[in-house]
Amino acid sequence: MKQSFKTGFSFGLTSGVITTLGLMVGLHAGTHSRLAVIGGIATIAVADALSDALGIHIAEESKNNGNVSEIWESTIATFAAKFLIALTFAVPVILLPLDQAMTVSVGWGLTLLAMVSYLLARAQQIPAWKVIAEHLVIGVSVIAITHYMGDWIHSTLS
């Protein structure tokens, strides 16, 4: 796979998992509303995917060493990965009771994060468990923080 696609895909997937889970968990804890969670997922899938794609685009341009087609490849790969990954989280929210959907979504997101971490470690020829553990600790931290933030907002503002 070309480096430009790897950059966009790995960034988009990771951001798609972390951002979407964080938003979903926070919205669920704060509102317990399926509509709010689905609305959040749709917003992440479009607005944040476009924002991240532009961010990668500008970051790649700032390096002053990539050709234009590689910059656009990273941009498009970032958008596509973030958009598609974010939308996968809507499936359990639509099909399952909301509490169950949240559990499935957290499992799905952490599995995706572990998989991309494993592939990254193999490509770098470093112990996979270290990379997986590091990335999962960050992911679980985001989930915990946004959950407690949602709880705090709910108890403070309702």
Per-residue model confidence as pLDDT tens digits over 5-43: 999 999 999 999 999 999 999 999 999 999 999 999 999
CA 134 vs CA 13, 15, 18, 137, 151: distances in Å: 16, 15, 14, 5, 26
Q: Find the domain containing 113 and state its range.
A: 3-157
What does DSSP assign to residue 64?
T
Number of domains in the chain: 1
> What pLDDT, on the 0 to 100 scale, is given for residue 158?
85
**pLDDT tens digits along 85-118:** 999 999 999 999 999 999 999 999 999 999 999 9
Q: Quote the CA–CA distance of 147 and 141 in Å, as a whole number.
A: 10
